[in-house]
Amino acid sequence: MSLPSSTAYDVIVVGSGPTGSTYVREVYDRHPTARILLLDAGPRLTDAPGTHVKNIPDPAERARAQRASEGPGPAGRPGTRLLDAPELPAAAVSTNVGGMGAHWTGACPRPGDGERIGFVPEAEMDAHLTRAEQLLHVDAHAFDRAPFADEVRRRLSTLFDAGRPAHRRVAPMPLAVTTRPDGAHAWSGTDVILGGAAADERVEIADRCLCLRVVLEGDTATGVVVRDTVTGEERQVTARAVVVAADALRTPQLLHASGVRPPALGRYLNDQPQIVYAVRLPDDVVAAHRAVTGRTRDEDGAIVPQSGVSWVPYTDAHPFHGQVMQLDASPVPLADDTGIEPGAVVGLGWFCAKDITADDRIEFDDTTADAHGLPAPRIHYRYSDRDLAGIEQAKKAVAEAGAAIGIPLDDSPFLLPAGSSLHYQGTTRMGAVDDGTSVCDSHSRVWNTRGLWVAGNNVIPTATACNPTLTSVALAVRGADALLAHLEATGNRSAAPPSRLTPSTP
């Protein structure tokens, strides 16, 4: 379908990725009568909306789903299209029901040390993270049968664990995966987050439906204007609350187009510099740990049991996040077929925490339109001297890790083009007070605008190195608490927007 079937809902969510779907699920589970509209400018790829494309058994069907996600423009990584952003040349987006949740690697580490948000109470954040793990079906033991994973982690632990607290030592990577009835694993997409909500009549999913602007009456968001991308027909739809979860690049664009323009909008753009390296395990290790399963991933979409994903956590003393993936575990191919036994090729990816500055930003041109008629974006982005020094340190660390694991397949670690991580953050960042350096409060409510929430990696205000999805889903859980309170209060329209220079409150 395209245009919504009704003109009035309780909640409208713009963007069907992991955080938008979290708002839908939390409101659906906890408000027995709320009617929810979930909008996405892209197509539905699978019968169950938001299924991870790697779970599609047929390779040709999977490739078609990835192409359908790319939208207009040059293709980037499968399922994405590149933006015209010279200073962030690998910047890319997906446009499909499920968003990047249909294409991601499923890594769900908890943030630690300086990655944590200081003004969100620690106990509350831990509870939100636990709920996020439930929604995503996070499992740290999905690959316990992997024949080489224990050896990879043993070697990494010897190198990195000294002096670390127990919860920040080398460990299996917590992954968003679901266990099938036959015991095999599949990647969690947003279909897993939505659960039964996707099939309930109280929840409507409108695909190929582009949100053009949020409608404001004074300081209150009252709905959205949408366009059917197939027919071009437009319609205004009302709601008591609007959540914009259109990713870190398009969420600030939509707010700008709607006239919601706090000083921090689009600023503090944060992408994680990514260093990669590949090695293979020594022949004697492969021989000692070899196990033949007979399953290949393409047979039925399952993750093969030889897979393994390991985690070197971020710490303030080691301000990098290591994601160590045995070749066949990655939804993104790490290398061409080398003829080496599956699982014996190990890809190391080190993500760096970047300096956060207001100068790294997206600005929007009201005189020039993009392909959808919205204000055209321009990205400003650069590495500071401190960033460049950190990148060199990360290269050294990943080279040491590779040498500890096995035999290099690359001459040396190399830095991927800026934007390659797809972990864009900060452009609608949260803050403790509205002092001009944030867009929303700690419950993701846009400052001075009643009934409007933002969601996604873009609300994360800290310099992170770990994969951000678990954190952003946890913050969506937190935001949904405030949204549900808003729904209860708006029977008499008495709920006030978060006010300038006042601390965030539930």
Position 365 scores a pLDDT of 95
What distances in angstroms separate CA 494 from CA 71, 220, 450, 488, one per listed residue?
A: 41, 11, 10, 10
* Lowest mean per-residue pLDDT among 43-57, 236-250, 281-295: 281-295
Distances (CA, A) of 150 to 243, 309, 357, 471, 486: 42, 10, 40, 27, 48
Task: Name the percent of the chain lying above pLDDT 90.
Answer: 79
Active site members: 423
pTM of the model: 0.93
What SS3 state is found at 72? coil
Rounded to 10°, the helix 122-136/469-489 angle is: 100
Per residue in 363-419, pLDDT tens? 999 999 998 899 999 999 999 999 999 999 999 999 999 999 999 988 999 999 999
Report the alpha-carbon distance of residue 456 to residue 327 in Å, rounded. 29
Cβ proximity of 452 and 218 under 8 Å: no
At 474, give phi and psi (nearest 5°). -60, -40
Diameter over CA atoms, the chain: 72
pLDDT at 34: 97
Element (H, E) at 26: helix 18-30
Helix 18-30 × helix 469-489 angle, to 10°:
40
d(CA 327, CA 330): 6
Q: Where are the alpha helices (DSSP H) in 295-407?
A: 297-300, 385-405
**Structure tokens belonging to residue 187:** 């990647």
- For residue 180, name the pLDDT band (cuts at 50, 70, 90): confident
pLDDT one-digit tens code per residue, 122-149: 999 999 999 999 999 999 988 777 778 8
Query: 292 Cβ partners below 8 Å, 6+ apart?
Result: none
- pLDDT of 342 reads 56
State how far the Cα of 265 lies from the Cα of 253, in Å rounded to an integer: 9
Burial of 470 from C-beta contacts in 10 A (0-12 / 13-18 / 19+) = buried
Predicted pLDDT at 493:
40
pLDDT at 125: 98
What's the CATH class of domain 1-106+188-263+361-379+424-506? Answer: alpha beta
Q: Is residue 326 pLDDT above 90, yes or no?
A: no
Q: CA of 44: how far to CAs of 34, 41, 51, 102, 259, in Å?
A: 23, 10, 9, 11, 30
The residue assigned the tokens 């870190």 is 248
Rounded to an integer, the average pLDDT of 340-355 is 84
Segments in 450-495 forming alpha helices (H):
469-489
Over residues 428-439, mean pLDDT: 98
Architecture (CATH level 2) of domain 138-187+273-352+384-417: 2-Layer Sandwich (3.30)
* CA 450 from centroid of its chain's CA atoms: 26
Question: b vs e for 274-288, b when ≥16 Cβ sit within 10 Å of the residue's Cβ?
Answer: bbbbbbbbeeebbee
Per-residue pLDDT, averaged over 40-65, amounts to 95
CA dihedral 438, 441, 443, 447 (to 10 degrees): -100
CB 45 within 8 A of CB 68: yes
Q: What is the pLDDT of residue 498?
A: 53
Residues 337-363, mean pLDDT to the nearest whole number: 84
Which residue would you say has higher pLDDT here, 328 or 153?
153
pLDDT tens digits, one per residue of 280-301:
888 887 777 655 444 444 456 6
- pLDDT at 278 exceeding the cut of 60: yes
State residue 418's pLDDT score.
96
Q: What is the pLDDT of residues 11-35, one digit of tens each?
A: 999 999 999 999 999 999 999 999 9
**Which has more pLDDT, 206 or 329?**
206
Tokens representing 75 are 């293709």
The reported pLDDT for the residue numbered 306 is 54
Q: Dihedral sign, CA of 485, 263, 235, 70?
A: negative
Ranges of each domain in the chain: 1-106+188-263+361-379+424-506, 138-187+273-352+384-417
Q: What is the DSSP letter of 302?
A: P
**Range name among 37-41, 244-248, 280-284, 376-380 with the lowest pLDDT average:** 280-284
